[in-house]
């Protein structure tokens, strides 16, 4: 009997609860409200395929070669322009292309966090961020939560006592809560981070998916409003939710030394994002089609969010509470008195799925909470999904 | 003045010496014999572009979505078949798709190596492997070198004394030495690794690029010949050298617990390799075109290797020593009495580049050594490149 060569932290780690659910989502007839997958119908497959066809032989051939770790210059220029639309005045050289924004969380965890360092997160928060911080050996502390997403009354005391190295936040249409930090709270958070010398890692994959009104500008856009703000702000965004996750493209903004550390870590990891998907994304963004497609995406997701929320409010009245989101892909729900992970077992038999709440907490999970995504189902799917949720909950509660 | 938030190991790390040279390689007129880049002319751009065009709307649309961390089932099946041609009897489920085989070195370093663990490497060896082990906090020890690539007289004593966690080896057409371990030495290495409970990380990106005769089967193929061998063998390979680096696709084989740890680490890193490039590679491999293209690739690289070696032997006789390789992409050379990193400064002015030897050593570098790649230059480029090497060396030595 050989002892495993694997380090304890990896031998004992659980897989992503969402990725582990994927096998059920592939069952015929399953309506999955679990994963945060963009709708297949809403991705511009035709447009992207056309872009790849449009390349000349020499262009396509160049797109098959190695490229720099920082990213393709043409894509960096397009992502800088896209950042402008989010209120971020940055140049191509200020950003590094990532193989998805998840990689940015991992690179930041690897380059900044030593075992025992404290990382603050919202509760609930994004499970794969928890995983990246855990694998880096962080001690994770959940910030107390209020209607705004962070309870500021307790934040300063926490910073003073725990001296965290980093705060991880999804300030806009948060995964999973759907909440958005106000402009005033963003500035307050930044001031406290500077005062207590704590990096603010701002994860922003959803801000383009607003329903009625655009969200406040990112915290990163405020970095010059506070002395020393530019030293603590790191920003991540992604093309996965608005263009296509399969491209594996995101980007990071931040202080030079942190960006440089991420480039070094990335050189040793996957060397670079795919030159081919970078070339395709750069051409697609340059064509203007991305920005033409966004309003359609927003309308569709708004309609789906509204439909899912109102179907639940009508069909499951008194059994489920929820707050309708203003953007993003998720509705955070509560089934008072119910353990949602046990309910899920019954729901799966009814061919409907969600993500139980426990996955979104570093500790002290709210067992009655659960996350629904409205993104990948059409209206008929959402309707049937809610019928099945309701029936399975009745069966589970009986 | 703010102290950097970046961990020391990243703040003090040098970038990849080869990637740092890239800026010179983009100068007009430069003949780069530095990077191990496959030849643009030899990649089947037309074939890959056709494959992407051939997808129906629903196929292309599916290729834009998230997929499993382990990799696309269709690609895993094709990579298992490709592994068979290398003498590896494995099934699709036995392998995990990586975003390039470099990622496998990093994942293994992250999941197995704790700070202070000893890693054994050949000398010279692949710089980005050194970097991955350094970032994981390993103590790197160079194995003594002989004509075969590893000095077996000293290996057992080293294993006994240093108790390394891992041996990293490129046993076939090694980067940078070009050397290949014999079948007998592969088995001897495996036996010693089992005896001293040390993981053998076998990095095999070049074995398909043989010139006259196929190389011995991988060490991984021998794992059942030694009791307990299957617990210590980990194997990496890549499509970067034989299909296209821009796809960012490689794969890993190894014991279940190690593969599982790599999947967990990858979930937290880039989640998955690009579904789009995986779908394209699977279709291309299934078309049979990959295997039709290989003999052409081998002939071209053999001709280029032979041309570069003989041009040097003729033009720089008595100044440069080298061993002609039997496969791969590199010729490892020596300029006795010369510091190759200082010579490089002069060479760059003559519009020719190579990689100075120091980068390939963990310690005690051989300053007179340097690496040439013949892969990305055609015969005229190799001829002119050698003329410039010769002129610049004469100028430097004058």
**pTM for the model:** 0.96
Phi, psi of A333 (to 5 degrees): -125, 165
Of B2, B68, B135, the CB nearest to A268: B135
Scanning A187-216 for CB atoms below 8 A from B yields 197, 199
The chain-wide mean pLDDT, for chain B, equals 95
pLDDT recorded at residue A74? 98
- Low-confidence winner among B3-17, B90-104, B288-302 (lowest mean pLDDT): B3-17
In this complex, do B267 and A43 lie within 8 Å of one another by their Cβ atoms?
no
pLDDT recorded at residue A1? 43
How many beta-carbon pairs under 8 angstroms link A with B?
Answer: 247
Chain B hits for A8, CB-CB cut-off 8 Å, are none
In this complex, do B244 and A271 lie within 8 Å of one another by their Cβ atoms?
no
What's the whole-number mean pLDDT along residues A108-118?
97
What's the whole-number mean pLDDT along residues A31-55?
94
Q: How far apart are CA A264 and CA A70, in angstroms?
A: 10
Coil, strand, or helix at residue B25? helix
* pLDDT higher than 70, residue A153: yes
Coil, strand, or helix at residue A28? coil
Work out the pLDDT band at B3, boundaries 50, 70, 90. Answer: low
Q: Which of B75, B267, B329 to mutate to test the interface with A (most CBs of A within 10 A)?
A: B267
* Antiparallel, parallel or unpaired: β A330-334 and A369-373: antiparallel
Q: Does B114 touch chain A (CB under 8 A)?
A: yes
Of B106, B267, B272, the CB nearest to A269: B106
Q: How far apart are CA B252 and CA B276, in angstroms?
A: 20
- The gap between the terminal CA atoms of chain B, to the nearest Å, is 48
Sequence-distant (≥ 6) Cβ neighbours of residue B49 within 8 angstroms: A52, A53, A55, A57, A60
For chain A, what percent of residues have pLDDT higher than 70?
A: 99
- DSSP label of A224: G
**On the CB side of B196, how many CA atoms lie within 13 Å of its CA?**
23
In this complex, do B43 and A61 lie within 8 Å of one another by their Cβ atoms?
yes
* pLDDT higher than 80, residue A260: yes
Chain A hits for B63, CB-CB cut-off 8 Å, are 246
Query: At which residue do the structure tokens 């019954």 appear?
Result: A346
Q: Which of A40, A69, A269 to mutate to test the interface with B (most CBs of B within 10 A)?
A: A269
pLDDT in tens, B379-395: 999 999 999 999 999 99
In this complex, do A48 and B60 lie within 8 Å of one another by their Cβ atoms?
yes
Q: Does B258 touch chain A (CB under 8 A)?
A: yes
A366 exposure class (CB count in 10 Å sphere: 0-12, 13-18, 19+): middle
What's the whole-number mean pLDDT along residues A114-136?
96
pLDDT in tens, B35-58: 889 999 999 999 999 999 999 999
Q: Is the peptide bond before B176 cis (omega within 30 degrees of 0)?
A: yes
pLDDT recorded at residue B23? 79
Coil, strand, or helix at residue B56? coil
Q: How far apart are CA A253 and CA A221, in angstroms?
A: 11
Coil, strand, or helix at residue A4? coil
Chain A hits for B257, CB-CB cut-off 8 Å, are 4-6, 11
Q: Does A74 touch chain B (CB under 8 A)?
A: no
Q: Does A127 touch chain B (CB under 8 A)?
A: no
For chain A, what percent of residues have pLDDT higher than 90?
A: 91
The candidate with the shortest Cα–Cα distance to A7, out of B312, B108, B157, B232, is: B108
Work out the pLDDT band at B20, boundaries 50, 70, 90. Answer: confident
Query: At which residue do the structure tokens 């040439």 appear?
Result: B372
Chain B hits for A71, CB-CB cut-off 8 Å, are none
- Low-confidence winner among A79-83, A296-300, A309-313, B153-157 (lowest mean pLDDT): B153-157
In this complex, do A6 and B103 lie within 8 Å of one another by their Cβ atoms?
no
Work out the pLDDT band at A2, boundaries 50, 70, 90. Answer: low
Residues in chain A, total: 398
pLDDT recorded at residue B1? 43
The candidate with the shortest Cα–Cα distance to A187, out of A217, A157, A160, is: A217
Bridge partners of residue A251, in order along the sequence: A97, A237
Work out the pLDDT band at B13, boundaries 50, 70, 90. Answer: confident
A296 exposure class (CB count in 10 Å sphere: 0-12, 13-18, 19+): exposed
Write the CA distances from A208 to A127, A173, A288, A299, B129, integer angstroms. 22, 10, 15, 12, 39
In this complex, do B67 and A271 lie within 8 Å of one another by their Cβ atoms?
no
For chain B, what percent of residues have pLDDT higher than 90?
A: 91
Which pair of tokens denotes residue A26? 């592939």
Q: How far apart are CA B282 and CA B278, in angstroms?
A: 6
**On the CB side of A318, how many CA atoms lie within 13 Å of its CA?**
1
Residues in chain B, total: 398
**Distance to chain A for B163, nearest Cα, Å:** 13
Sequence-distant (≥ 6) Cβ neighbours of residue A100 within 8 angstroms: A238, A240, A245, A248, A249, A250, B270, B271
- DSSP label of A64: T
Q: Measured over all CA atoms, what is the biggest interatomic distance in chain A, rounded to whole angstroms? A: 66
Coil, strand, or helix at residue A333? strand
Q: Does A226 touch chain B (CB under 8 A)?
A: no
* pLDDT higher than 80, residue A274: yes
Chain B hits for A247, CB-CB cut-off 8 Å, are 64, 274, 276
Sequence-distant (≥ 6) Cβ neighbours of residue B41 within 8 angstroms: B378
Chain B hits for A62, CB-CB cut-off 8 Å, are 40
Q: Which of B233, B271, B282, B359 to mutate to test the interface with A (most CBs of A within 10 A)?
A: B271
* pLDDT higher than 90, residue B340: yes
- The gap between the terminal CA atoms of chain A, to the nearest Å, is 48
Chain A hits for B132, CB-CB cut-off 8 Å, are 268
Of B40, B106, B277, the CB nearest to A65: B40
Q: How far apart are CA B314 and CA B317, in angstroms?
A: 6
Work out the pLDDT band at B65, boundaries 50, 70, 90. Answer: very high
In this complex, do A102 and B269 lie within 8 Å of one another by their Cβ atoms?
yes
Q: 10 Å Cβ neighbour count for B307?
A: 19
Q: Does A24 touch chain B (CB under 8 A)?
A: no
* pLDDT higher than 80, residue A20: no
The candidate with the shortest Cα–Cα distance to B203, out of B251, B244, B245, is: B251
Q: How far apart are CA A143 and CA A96, in angstroms?
A: 29
Q: Which of B65, B200, B273 to mutate to test the interface with A (most CBs of A within 10 A)?
A: B65
**Distance to chain B for A147, nearest Cα, Å:** 29
* pLDDT higher than 90, residue B255: yes
* Antiparallel, parallel or unpaired: β A355-356 and B95-98: unpaired
**Distance to chain B for A118, nearest Cα, Å:** 13
Render A242-287 in DSSP notation, one character per residue: TT-GGG--EEEE--HHHHHHHHHHHHHTTSSS-HHHHHHHHHHHHT
Q: How far apart are CA B190 and CA B171, in angstroms?
A: 12
Bridge partners of residue A268, in order along the sequence: none
Of A7, A19, A114, the CB nearest to B7: A114
Chain A hits for B230, CB-CB cut-off 8 Å, are none
pLDDT recorded at residue A315? 97
pLDDT recorded at residue A21? 82
Mapping DSSP onto H, E and C, the string for B260-306 reads HHHHHHHHHCCCCCCHHHHHHHHHHHHCCHHHHHHHHHHHHHHHHHH
Work out the pLDDT band at A142, boundaries 50, 70, 90. Answer: very high
Of A246, A257, A270, the CB nearest to B276: A246
Sequence-distant (≥ 6) Cβ neighbours of residue A97 within 8 angstroms: A70, A71, A72, A75, A76, A79, A249, A250, A251, A272, A273, A278
Which pair of tokens denotes residue A288? 């203007």
Phi, psi of A349 (to 5 degrees): -65, -30
* pLDDT higher than 70, residue A174: yes
Bridge partners of residue A141, in order along the sequence: A120
In this complex, do A10 and B132 lie within 8 Å of one another by their Cβ atoms?
no
Which pair of tokens denotes residue B277? 């490039």
Chain A hits for B135, CB-CB cut-off 8 Å, are 110, 264-265, 268
Chain A hits for B263, CB-CB cut-off 8 Å, are 15
pLDDT recorded at residue B388? 98
Q: Does B138 touch chain A (CB under 8 A)?
A: no
């Amino acid at each position: 009997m050989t002892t495993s060569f694997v380090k304890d932290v990896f031998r004992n780690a659980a897989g992503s609860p969402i990725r582990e659910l994927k096998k059920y989502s592939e069952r015929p007839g399953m309506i999955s409200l679990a994963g945060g997958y963009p709708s297949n119908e809403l991705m511009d497959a035709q447009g992207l395929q056309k872009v790849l066809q449009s390349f000349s032989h020499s262009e396509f051939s160049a797109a098959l070669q190695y490229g720099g770790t920082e990213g393709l210059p043409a894509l960096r220029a397009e992502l800088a322009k896209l950042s402008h639309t989010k209120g971020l005045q940055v140049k191509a050289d200020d950003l590094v292309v990532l193989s998805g924004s998840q990689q940015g969380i991992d690179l930041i965890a690897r380059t900044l966090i030593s075992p025992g360092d404290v990382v603050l997160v919202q509760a609930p928060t994004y499970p794969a961020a928890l995983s990246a911080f855990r694998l880096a050996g962080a001690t994770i502390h959940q910030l107390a939560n209020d209607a705004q997403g962070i309870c500021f009354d307790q934040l300063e005391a926490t910073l003073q006592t725990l001296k965290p190295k980093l705060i991880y936040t999804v300030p806009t249409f948060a995964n999973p809560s759907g909440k958005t930090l106000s402009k005033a709270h963003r500035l307050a958070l930044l001031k406290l981070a500077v005062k207590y010398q704590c990096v603010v890692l701002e994860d922003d994959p959803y801000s383009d998916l607003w329903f009625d009104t655009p969200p406040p500008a990112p915290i990163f856009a405020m970095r010059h409003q506070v002395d020393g703000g530019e030293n603590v702000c790191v920003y991540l965004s992604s093309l996965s939710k608005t263009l296509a996750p399969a491209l594996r493209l995101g980007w990071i903004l931040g202080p030079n030394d942190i960006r440089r550390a991420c480039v070094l870590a990335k050189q040793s990891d996957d060397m670079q994002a795919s030159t081919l998907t970078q070339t395709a994304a750069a051409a697609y963004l340059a064509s203007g089609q991305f920005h033409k497609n966004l309003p359609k995406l927003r309308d569709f997701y708004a309609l789906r969010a509204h439909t899912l929320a109102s179907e639940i409010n009508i069909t499951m009245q008194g059994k489920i509470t929820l707050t309708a989101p203003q953007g993003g892909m998720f509705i955070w729900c509560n089934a008072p008195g119910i353990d949602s992970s046990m309910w899920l077992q019954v729901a799966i038999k009814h061919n409907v799925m969600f993500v139980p709440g426990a996955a979104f907490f570093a500790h002290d999970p709210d067992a009655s909470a659960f996350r629904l995504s409205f993104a990948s189902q059409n209206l008929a799917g959402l309707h049937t999904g809610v019928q099945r949720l309701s029936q399975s909950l009745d069966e589970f509660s009986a």
